[in-house]
Structure 1
Amino acid sequence: MLVTFTSSETGEILMFAEAARPLLQAMGKATTARGTFTRDEMAAAAERLRQAVKGHETPPPDRENADGTKEPVVVLGQRAWPLIDMLERTARGGPKANIVWKAAADF
């Protein structure tokens, strides 16, 4: 399932729910089908996400497929930075700046 993050000040970010779940949880948000960040919440949410990334700086080893080839593992930081950037840029917007996310169902 896809989760779409839409900012009133920037563009959109699309993520699979399995990638969005730990990011939202790190920021203290429920993984509901719809949710929002108000301008007042964004700076603190970005900082919580930065702290979560610091806790996962060591990347896990690449995964080995059945045929012996290796598949690189995407770490939390690679998924988090676009969302951190969106939060910080949107927080500098006007008083009605916001970010919403939408998914087909709770995840």
Structure 2
Amino acid sequence: MLVTFTTDNYGDVIMFGEVALAMLRMMGHSPTVPGAILAADVPAALARLRDAIAQAKAEPPVVEEEQDQDQEAAGEPAVSLSKRALPLIKLLEAAAESNSRVMWK
């Protein structure tokens, strides 16, 4: 499943479902697709996401051994949660600046 986040004055952000649902939980929203954040609630959601990302950075990474071995075998580095969240953070910043809602489907 893919989840597409949209707002006015910024390009769409598409994420894999599992990551998008985790980000929604971090923002304090239910992982229901489709959904929306009202313009007035965007700054608070952005702050919660940033706090959750900062907390995740402070904690040691939890990687399942099998997944870690698969990535090493393929020669692929793991992508951190903070890097995955960056496009969504930029979208939320743009929405807060333009006082726009954020929707996802």
What is the aligned residue count?
100
For the 8 Å contact 1:63–1:72, the answer to whether it is kept is no
Match of 1:77 in 2: 82
Q: 1:70 to 1:28 in 2, by over 3 A?
A: same
Letter in 1 for 2:15: M
Match of 1:12, SS? strand
AA matched with 2:33: A
> Where in structure 1 are there 5+ consecutive unaligned residues?
103-107
More helix by share: 2
Q: Among residues 95, 98, 101, which one is paired with 1:98 in the alignment?
A: 101
| Stretches of structure 2 lacking an aligned partner (at least 5 in a row) | none
Match of 1:105 in 2: none
Pairwise CA RMSD: 2.3
Contact 2:10 2:94 (8 Å CA) reproduced: yes
- If each structure's strand is expressed as a fraction of its own residues, which one has the higher value? 1
TM-score (norm 2): 0.82
